[in-house]
Structure 1
Amino acid sequence: MKLKTNLPIFIVFALFFSFQDQAIAQEDPLSTPRSEFWRNVRFGGGLGLAFGNNNTQITVAPSAIYQYNEYIAFGPGLNFNYQKFGDFSSTLYGVSGIFLANPIPEIQLSGELEQLFGTQKINDIGGSQSFDVNNTALFLGVGYRYGGVTIGARYNVLFDNNDGIYAEAWQPFVRVYF
């Protein structure tokens, strides 16, 4: 059972580091020239951390974006999310799409549509219960950007206190693209 829980983590990190190797290999001057499309593709992603009263939430989200011009970028991503709140825990994985707008170089606006699947577990005096879940989230965010790093906050406009996925609608984030 432990292997099943760690499999999504392994997949997310394996994909993230394979993207990094590809990005480095594509910049090798001895390699074949990249097409115009691949010159505009950037790899990276985001991290999210939320802590509250007996609550921990960790999100790792590697992604790739196509930099359409200096103002607009968009692309797909993968997500891994772990949450623990008292006797409740969840391990989630999923896919996302991200749209980034930079009205000025230092400010980044974002929209992220995310679909998560996973397992939640509740431990109580009578034992533990485990069940499968899925959730759709739409995050709108704003951040300060310096180079390829953006630090900011995002808000889940589809947040529901009863969905059991996110503890709060607001989340801080760190997003990096190389």
Structure 2
Amino acid sequence: MKKNFVMNLTFLLVIVFLFGFKSEIYAQENTENKTKSDFWNHVQFGGGFGLGVGNNYADIMVAPSAIYNFNNYVSAGLGLQYNYIKQKDFYNANLYGASILALFNPLEELQISTEIEQLKVNRTFKNNFESNSQDFWNTALFIGLGYRSENITMGMRYNILHKNRDNIYPEAFMPFVRIYF
């Protein structure tokens, strides 16, 4: 499983590397006015926050992320995620991990995304007679398509590695909203 994760991560980084360069080649460069790096001018911060509460139920998720815009068409970034889920006297879970994200914008309104996510899952199921704890790593590889309007993208993504057993996502298809500032 670890070998597949490393192979998927390597593949994603190669894709970002290949598509991240501008097609223009400059023969000469003016270095007189290049005293400061413009790195931070290409960085955007954002992420997600989720809150679900109900009768003896709580689901809290925090997922900050940052992307670097290589040009108008390609961005890549990193994200962190923490999820706390509890249903009183039945279920308790803590999920935490990281992701690598690549965004491709072939048109201004269209965004294609790939994201590999690695989460550590600690969960416990309880009933009146016994308790069952699980501790495992969950890997997800999402391919997504979204509609983009300025810094907000809404769309659908598909988890290529989805399995019905030992998975934290009930379905392979998931809607998403991304916001970057």
Does TM-score exceed 0.5, indicating one fold?
yes
Provide the residue aligned with 2:154 in structure 1. Answer: 151
Tell me how far apart the structure 2 counterparts of residues 169 and 90 of structure 1 sit (CA, whole Å). Answer: 20
- Kindly tell me: are residues 140 and 56 of structure 1, through their superposed partners in 2, closer, same or farther at Cα, counting changes over 3 Å? farther
- 2:165 maps to a residue whose letter is N
Structure 2 stretches of 5 or more lacking a match?
Answer: 1-34
Give 1:66's aligned amino acid. Answer: Y
Structure 1 contact 49–171 (Cα < 8 Å) conserved: no
| Aligned partner (choices 44, 47, 51) of residue 45 of structure 1 | 47
The match for 2:62 among 60, 63, 74 is 60
Partner of 1:117 in structure 2? 120
Matched, 1:95 2:98: yes
* 1:150/1:78 CA distance change after superposition, 3 Å: same
Deviation at 1:153, TM superposition (A): 1.2
- Residue type matched to 2:74 in 1? I
Structure-1 residue corresponding to 2:23: none
CA offset digits 1:94-152 (Å, max 9, x no partner)? 01000000111111111000000131110112132323221111011111111100111
- The one-letter code sitting in structure 1 at the alignment partner of 2:97 is G
CA distance in 1, matches of 2:139, 2:58: 20
Q: What pairs with 1:63-74 in structure 2 (closer than 5 Å)?
A: 63-74=65-76
If asked which structure has higher relative contact order (CA below 8 Å, sep 6+), I would say 1
For the residues of structure 1 that align with 2:161 and 2:80, how far apart are their CA atoms? 19
State the secondary structure of the residue aligned to 2:171.
coil
- What is the SS of the residue equivalent to 1:166? coil
Runs of 4 or more, structure 1, over 6 Å off, are 55-58
- Go from structure 1 to structure 2 and tell me whether the alpha carbon gap of 1:77 and 1:34 turns closer, same or farther (over 3 Å shift): farther
Alpha-carbon distance between aligned partners in 2 of 1:169 and 1:58, rounded to the nearest angstrom: 21
The answer as to whether partners of 1:47 and 1:175 remain within 8 angstroms in 2 is no
Looking at structure 2, the residues matched to 71 and 140 of structure 1 have their Cα atoms a distance apart, in angstroms, of 17
Q: How far 1:59 sits from its partner (Å)?
A: 4.7
* 1:165 alignment partner, SS class: coil
Q: 1:106 and 1:57, CA in 2 relative to 1: closer, same or farther beyond 3 A?
A: farther
Structure holding more helix per residue: 1
**Cα pair distance change 1:164/1:82, threshold 3 Å:** farther
Q: TM-score, normalising length from structure 1?
A: 0.70
Query: Equivalents in 2 of 1:95, 1:42: separation in Å?
Result: 17
Q: Aligned match of 2:139 in 112, 117, 136? A: 136
Compared with structure 1, are the counterparts of its residues 110 and 146 closer, same or farther at alpha carbon in structure 2 (3 Å cutoff)?
A: same
How many angstroms apart in 2 are the aligned matches of 1:120 and 1:71? Answer: 39
Task: Provide the aligned C-alpha RMSD in A.
Answer: 2.6
Task: Please give the alpha-carbon distance, in whole angstroms, between the structure 1 residues aligned to 2:144 and 2:98.
Answer: 18
Task: Report the TM-score when normalising by structure 2.
Answer: 0.69
- Aligned with 1:168: secondary structure? coil
Q: Distance in 1 between matches of 2:48 and 2:101?
A: 11
**Aligned letter for 1:60?**
V
